[in-house]
A and B are shown apart, each in its own frame.
Chain A
Amino acid sequence: MFGETAVPLIDTAKRTRKTQSVSLYEGEKVREILDEISILQEHLESLNDQGLDSINSSDYESKLLIQLVQNHDLKVLKLYHSQRSEKIKFIAIQELPLSQETRLKLSERERIFHSKYSDLLRKYKCEYPPSLNLSATLVPPKEALTAVRVLNDIGDLMTQNGYVEFRKGTQAIVRKADPTIEKLIKLGYLKIVGNKESTIINPL
């Protein structure tokens, strides 16, 4: 039955609505829906070619029905893609690189979208006050300093407190709001100790 090809994609969109990670791009299902729209379009054209008069209600109804199904399919495609791009945008705004695992799950176009969106944010950040970090984690700050454990060798780094040596297994007290430190925490090089892991908030 027409319209049913879209159902699996709706299910996927529903299922992955709350997850943080991106699921595998279902290119096959997307193509099936696109095929359905094209077939319906041919059907519609053949109806038009027959020159049926619009007063005949059954013809009018079938035309309307085809258009409805087409619209429904397009909406599902839009929804599915926009939901995925939301997640990609969230990765990009945190300035996280795409992990190998995520990269494989994205379609070719989505990888391009990620890099273009990152460019867009970079341009926007140029106009942003330099003391602020747009990509900062949106968790209310509680203390200025925090103890971190070094999980991977990094070497000497220039932080806002001056040079700090980060050797694997050591601990250091650093300023939490330092963009360098924040980035290292996000990338998993440093781990905050003696504090609950901060949760990530997505606005809206």
Chain B
Amino acid sequence: MSRIFSRRNQKKPKKVNLNTVYTKEFFDSDEDSSDVVDNADESNNKKNETHPSEPELENLQRAWLNENFSTEILPYDPAFERLNEILENQNVRAESLTLSQETSPIGMLLFIDNERIKYVMNRYKRTRLAKIEKYVYSIIENAEYMARLSLPEKEFAERYKRLIEEHEHASFLHVLPKESLDVLKEAENGTETSFATVERPDLNQAVFCRFIKHIGSYSFPSTPQDTDMLSKDDAYLVKYSDIRRLLEDNSIELI
């Protein structure tokens, strides 16, 4: 396997999370705006705390990127629902702040923060939707993939499949004699894959991934004779099928 990057001997770069920086600071300064100076020490201590939306947002961002780069559909991330609750609370707060003062800077920042959260949530949903549409046939015929969808997504997939079939039938298939369609069906079910028209996820596609946990010595399924030392923050370029299981255990993220 080709390791493309290792952070083992490198200094860890300082991570700046803009999201925390501004929400936390302004949250704090908002609450004790009258005695910011007096409570300087206290607010310094508070800096180590994290805002409730932060870990969930990070989870969802990871889920979105994983979804974007993996070829098959991944399990639905429950972080979406939790983030939605946080978002609603934050929205109420921002609304009440801007109600008292229309250009309240904290309120505005909360709004932008909300927009960013919404953006990630939207991208996540749209990516999944696009994927369901692309692989609709292979998802519906595979029980494992179907179990990964949320209830509305399942309904969407089934309705979408019906719609596509109906559209294709009405656009051109209805004119054709039944026998010539049978030829196509036979070829699809047979082993001659060159005839297949159903789009399936390509599990052999190469993906970039980064380890978020320390694994230790490990050999990838496609190259059992090679053992690699996998530690946190290493980046690899591997076959997707090799890291499928690791992705399920949340040991890696796709980048």
Residues of chain A whose beta carbon lies under 8 Å from any beta carbon of chain B: 30, 34, 37-38, 40-41, 44-45, 67, 70-71, 74-75, 77-78, 81, 85, 89, 93, 107, 109-110, 112-113, 116-117, 120, 123-124, 127-129, 131-134, 136, 138, 140-141, 143-145, 161, 175-177, 202-204
Our pick among A34, A113, A120 for the contact of B172 (Cβ within 8 Å) is A34
- Check B184–A71 contact: CB distance below 8 A: yes
B contact residues, total (Cβ < 8 Å): 49
CB of A131, distance to nearest CB on chain B (Å)? 6
Our pick among A40, A93, A204 for the contact of B180 (Cβ within 8 Å) is A40
- Check B131–A144 contact: CB distance below 8 A: no
Residues of chain B whose beta carbon lies under 8 Å from any beta carbon of chain A: 68, 84, 87-88, 91, 102, 108, 111-112, 114-116, 118-119, 121-123, 125-127, 129-131, 133-134, 151-152, 155-156, 159-160, 163-164, 166-168, 170-172, 175-177, 179-180, 183-184, 187, 195, 197
- Check A120–B126 contact: CB distance below 8 A: no
- Check B116–A141 contact: CB distance below 8 A: yes
- Check A127–B180 contact: CB distance below 8 A: no
For the complex, what is the distance from the CA of A75 to the CA of B184, rounded to whole Å? 9
Show 18 residue pairs from A and B whose CB-CB distance is below 8 angstroms, ordered by the A residue.
A30-B171, A40-B180, A74-B184, A107-B171, A109-B170, A116-B163, A116-B166, A117-B163, A123-B159, A127-B152, A132-B121, A132-B125, A134-B126, A136-B119, A136-B122, A138-B126, A144-B108, A177-B114
- Check B127–A203 contact: CB distance below 8 A: yes
- Check A204–B131 contact: CB distance below 8 A: yes
Q: A70-B180, A204-B131 are in contact. Are A143 and B125 (CB under 8 A)?
A: no
> Which residues in B have their C-beta under 8 angstroms from that of A112?
167, 170
> Which residues in B have their C-beta under 8 angstroms from that of A202?
130
For the complex, what is the distance from the CA of A133 to the CA of B134, rounded to whole Å? 22
- Check B111–A89 contact: CB distance below 8 A: no
CB of B63, distance to nearest CB on chain A (Å)? 14
> Which residues in B have their C-beta under 8 angstroms from that of A81?
167-168, 171-172
> Which residues in B have their C-beta under 8 angstroms from that of A203?
68, 123, 126-127, 129-130
- Check A132–B183 contact: CB distance below 8 A: no
> Which residues in A have their C-beta under 8 angstroms from that of B102?
161
- Check A131–B195 contact: CB distance below 8 A: no
CB of B158, distance to nearest CB on chain A (Å)? 10
> Which residues in A have their C-beta under 8 angstroms from that of B119?
136, 138, 140-141
Our pick among A34, A70, A109 for the contact of B167 (Cβ within 8 Å) is A109
- Check A38–B176 contact: CB distance below 8 A: yes
